[in-house]
Amino acid sequence: MNEQGISHHRHPCKPPLIGIDNACLDPGSPTLINSVEANLTSALPRLNPFTCKDVDDRLREIMPPCKDWTEINIFDKLIFLVAKVSGRVFVGLEVSQTPEYIDTAVNYTLQFMHAVHVVKTIRPWLKPSLGPRTPEIQKLLGLAKLAEKLLGPIIEEKIHRRANDSG
């Protein structure tokens, strides 16, 4: 396990997510817990005003005012809103507004939910061998690689900046 709490090997205490041997986070990792408690939680007072304004702006963007009752697909609108607003918090304003990021974030989330549903239909004793071969899991892994390609440079730059700031 590396210092960010990411293991590229199977976690000994629990099986990998939905039967796929892939990088997994150790939920007990001190680094992960510290990141949430110290970094994210302490940043909430600073982030809340921007996040509230961002939600208001995105709502006006995806659901502009209208004179009459208008039927909309709220699920699609909310997925878009969550991708943009959470993206701003986690990857920054510049990246979170790009069509590539939004498309990747939305598609990964939807594909993940679909893949979980498909893998749950496989008999338990067949999951380890059939789960990774399903088209849904293959597509999910492809989206994960795309996300890594998109976000990898941002993560590396932040790690590099943090190392230079502390040393």
Structural domain spans, the chain: 48-166
pTM for this entry: 0.65
More confident residue, 129 or 42: 129
For position 4, what pLDDT does the model report? 44
Angstrom distance (rounded) from CA 100 to CA 61: 18
DSSP 132: G
Q: Is residue 102 within 8 Å of residue 121, measured between CB atoms?
A: no
The residue to which tokens 């969550």 are assigned: 82
Kindly report, residue by residue over 64-75, the tens digit of the pLDDT.
Answer: 888 888 888 888
First to last CA, the chain: 23
| Three-class SS of 89-126 | HHHCHHHHCCHHHHHHHHHHHHHHHHHHHHHHCCCHHH
Helix (H, G, I), strand (E, B) or coil at 31: helix
Whether residue 20 is predicted with pLDDT greater than 50 in this model: the reply is: no
Which residue in this structure is represented by tokens 């293991």? 7
Identify the residue with better confidence: 114 or 39. 114
Cα-to-chain-centroid distance, residue 103: 12
Does the structure show a pLDDT above 70 at 21? Answer: no
By DSSP bridging, strand 6-7 and strand 24-25 are antiparallel
Q: What is the pLDDT of residues 122-164, one digit of tens each?
A: 999 999 999 999 999 999 999 989 988 888 888 888 888 888 8
In this structure, are residues 75 and 106 in contact, taking their beta carbons and an 8 Å threshold? no
**To which H or E segment does residue 6 belong?**
strand 6-7
Region 23-27: what's the mean pLDDT? 52
